[in-house]
Each structure stands twice: as C-alpha cells, then as structure tokens.
Amino acid sequence: MTPITCDQAVQQFFAYLDRALAGETLENLEAHLEACLSCCDRLAFSRRLDDFIKSRLPDRPVPPSLEARVRLALGRPETGA
Amino acid sequence: MRESEADGGMVTAPLDPETRARFEALALPHLPDVYRLAVRLKGRAQDAEDLVQETYVKALRAFPSLRQPDRVRPWLFQILSRLVLDQQRAEPREVATGDLEELDRFSLYDLIWDEDPLPYSDNLHGDFLAQFTDEEVRAALTALPETYRVPLVLVYVEELSYKELAEILGCPLGTVMSRLHRGRKILERELWECAKRRGLVRSWNR
C-alpha cells in the first residue's frame, strides 16, 4: 500500500463514486479516507451533489403516440417522417 | 391487401419484412428507456422525440451488422449518444471550460466553506444546495457541452461502467474518466455562478 495525499485522493473521488476504481488504487484511497476526516467530508459532499443532480434530471412520461411515430418512420427510413 | 398490413400503406422499407419485424421485436421494447435517456440529454420533449426517431431509423439501417442481438439496449444508447455528439460537432458551441487545470481543482465544497453563506446553518453544504430550483439545476446541466453531458447522464441514469462508456463514446478509459471529472466540475462552477447571480453568496472575491 502506498500513502496518497489529499490532492491525489480528491482527484479520484468521482471514479470512486462511479465504482471505477479497483486493486491498489482503491485500497490506497480507502486507506486515506479511513485516516482523513476532511476528505471524508469532501467525498460525502461529492456524493450528495451527484444525488442532488440525479434527482433533478429532466423526466417526462413517454408520449402515447411515440411508438406509432417511430414505427411509421421505420417503414420509410430513407425519407424520415 | 388491407392498408394496415403495411403500416398505413408505407411499403418502401429497404430491408426485408422479416428483418424489420425482428428489429422491431428486439428494439421497440426499449423505447421507454431510449426516450427517457433522450429527454435527459435534450431536455425538451420535441427534441427528445426527434432524437428517438432518428436513433431508431439509424439503428434499423445498421441492424443487419449487429452481432449481439442480446446487447440491443446498449447498442441503441450508443447510437443515440453518438447522434447527440455528432450534433454538437455540426454546431459547435463555445466550450467555456477555461483553464483546464484550474477547472480540475475547482471545489464548490471549499467555496461554500470559505464563503459561509448560511452562518446559522448546521448543515451548510446541504442547505446551500437546497436553495436551487429544479430549473436552475437543469440550466446548469444544459450549460454542459455534450462532450461532458453525455457520459455524465449515462453514468447517472444507466450506471454504466467506464468500460461500457468507453465503447459507447469510442474513446479510451482515461478520456472517459477526465470527462466525468470535468463535467462535474463545470456543474459545480455553474451552480456557484448561479448562486452569485442570485445574491446567495458575495461575488466580489471569486
């Protein structure tokens, strides 16, 4: 295991939240987080911000006419609908 | 022959009916998910519907070369994502990323801490975020260039792995990682700018 600095830890937070870290990189970060309260707070904020954005992404119900529109377009793909 | 036998009389499909029927059986069940992704990337319903239609038309043309029919869902996402990225290339926007090293180090967490806009709060960072309206958050997301918005939305909505993202975007893993990092940093900066415009924080020092 190699000790990492706070700067190095912060640069890996998003990959950590996206579950994209593995092996020694993950172990090094987790070891740092166990020892560094400040980085834990920063990570918690990054996670909270992610959840905050996710919960506010635009969403709309599927228009009932969409499937018919797409089927029609598929019937004549050279011209579109 | 009844008109309904050929989709209202349209009989100009270049593929044989069997292939088209197979495509529709495999691809159309994913229509709600494809539309959902389109809405999250485009915002406006009309734009999302156009994008979905374009995605399916393009997918039908490419269908004969699809090697793994069980992977039709990520394949549709890939086609849709690339259409969005191509649209950006066709109409490039001013990418206000500024100095990238400075952007990489931007920290909304630190700014909130330093500025302390809510001195009586015992949940400073959470209360700060709670001040933004849904519209303001969506505007910040829309301000993200597609290069950053597409991977971020795919991670948020579909929880795709970086490897899957690299395949969809056609770029190396390191690029996926830096786009997801910078995309989030631009969002943080947009929220901070929005807070300054609204007078939620003092604006003379940053």
A43-60 confidence digits (pLDDT tens): 999 999 999 999 999 888
**Confidence (pLDDT) at B156:** 92
**Tokens coding B89:** 């290339």
Give the largest Cα separation in chain A, rounded.
62
Query: B43, A58: Cβ pair inside 8 Å?
Result: yes
Looking at the predicted structure, is the pLDDT value of residue B10 above 80? no
Res. B170: pLDDT tops 60: yes
Top pLDDT among B170 and B14 is at: B170
Q: What is the pTM of this model?
A: 0.83
Nearest by Cα to B43 from B140, B180, B112? B140
List the beta strands (DSSP E) in A1-81: none
Write down the pLDDT at residue B87.
Answer: 84
pLDDT band for B99, please (50, 70, 90 cuts).
confident
Query: Which of B135, B181, B186 to mutate against chain A (most A CBs within 10 Å)?
Result: B181
pLDDT at A79: 47
ipTM: 0.85
A80–chain B Cβ distance below 8 A for any pair = yes
A47 vs B contacts (CB less than 8 Å): none
Q: Which of B14-18, B89-93, B110-114, B187-191 has the lowest mean pLDDT?
A: B89-93
Q: What is the spatial distance between Cα A36 and Cα A25, in angstroms, rounded to a whole number?
A: 16
CB contact A58 to B (< 8 Å): yes
Cα A70 to chain centroid, rounded: 30
Cα dihedral B33, B80, B180, B103 sign: negative
Structure confidence at residue B101 as a pLDDT band (50, 70, 90): confident
Q: How far is B79 from chain A (nearest CA, A)?
A: 15
CB contact under 8 A, A77 and B43: no
How sure is the predictor about B7, in pLDDT bands with cuts at 50, 70 and 90? very low
Question: Which of B13, B109, B187 faces A53 most closely, judged by CB atoms?
Answer: B187
A60 touches chain B (CB under 8 A): yes
pLDDT tens profile A9-43 = 999 999 999 999 999 999 999 999 999 999 999 99
Which chain A residue lies closest to B17 (C-alpha atoms)? Answer: A75
CB within 8 Å: B31 and A67 = yes
What distance in Å separates residue B205's CA from the closest CA in chain A? 22
CB contact under 8 A, A77 and B60: yes
Between chain A and chain B, the number of residue pairs with CB atoms below 8 A apart is 121
Please give the pLDDT value at position B18. 87
**Do A57 and B156 lie within an 8 Å CB cutoff?**
yes
Chain B neighbors of A71, CB-CB under 8 A: 7, 24, 28
Tell me how many degrees the CA angle B106-B109-B114 measures, rounded to the nearest 5.
Answer: 95
The closest CB to that of B184, out of A14, A48, A67, belongs to A14
Q: B192 pLDDT exceeds 80?
A: yes
Instruction: Please name the residue ranges forming H helices in chain B.
Output: 17-27, 31-42, 45-62, 72-90, 100-105, 108-115, 124-130, 134-143, 146-153, 162-169, 173-197
Read off the pLDDT of each residue in B180-191 and give the average, rounded to a whole number. Answer: 94
**How many Å apart are CA B2 and CA B202, to the nearest integer?**
70
Report the pLDDT averaged over residues B70-76.
Answer: 91
What six digits make up the tokens of A6? 């706070």
Q: Give the mean pLDDT of chain B.
A: 86
Length of chain B: 206
Query: Is the CB of A48 inside 8 Å of chain B's CB atoms?
Result: yes
Calculate Rg over the CA atoms of chain B.
Answer: 21
Closest CB to A53 among B23, B137, B162? B137
> Cα A74 vs. chain centroid, distance in angstroms?
33
